[in-house]
Amino acid sequence: MALQDKPPRKSGIAHFLAAAGYSIGGLKRLAGESAFRQEVALIAGLLVLFLIAGASLPEVLGMLAIGLVLIAVEALNTAIEVLVDHLSPGWSQFAKDAKDLGSLAVACTIGALLLYSGVALIW
């Protein structure tokens, strides 16, 4: 694979539009991951619970903010997995460690979402 020259750097509104396009591309890629779809279902289910329980707007927004953090961490975990799979197609300890650490980050974020939701819904 030949190296290509970097495209010229964009600025102003062109940079903003290009960045938005990259984010949409990332979302499309992430949508192919079953873990992402399960996490979106979890966030949607919690949103329904919050609304049924009559949670306040700040409580709902807090849950949604942590949900967005979860999606961001899942995106980073997926990026780690893509890079590791490229660098180490076979099994290696470094690949296992990198993937396990990414998974731990996702699990901690899910724990934070569930902890917040439990406190907000029970209190």
Q: What is the CATH number of the domain that holds 37?
A: 1.10.287.3610
65 domain residue, yes or no: yes
| Whether the predicted pLDDT of 2 surpasses 80 | no
| Whether the predicted pLDDT of 1 surpasses 70 | no
User: Rounded CA gap, 45 and 38, in Å?
Assistant: 10
89 domain residue, yes or no: yes
12 domain residue, yes or no: no
Comparing CA positions, the residue from 110, 25, 114, 115 lying closest to residue 73 is 110
CA–centroid distance for 73 within its chain: 4
Q: What is the pTM of this model?
A: 0.88
Structural domains counted in the chain: 1
3 domain residue, yes or no: no
13 domain residue, yes or no: no
Range of 89's domain?
29-122
User: Rounded CA gap, 35 and 71, in Å?
Assistant: 10
Annotated catalytic residue within 33, 39, 59, 74 = 74
| Whether the predicted pLDDT of 29 surpasses 70 | yes
54 domain residue, yes or no: yes
Are 118 and 62 in contact, with CB atoms under 8 Å apart?
A: no
10 domain residue, yes or no: no
Number of Cβ within 10 Å of residue 32's Cβ equals 9
What pLDDT score does 5 carry? 85
Asked if 74 is an active-site residue, the reply is: yes
43 domain residue, yes or no: yes
User: Rounded CA gap, 7 and 93, in Å?
Assistant: 36
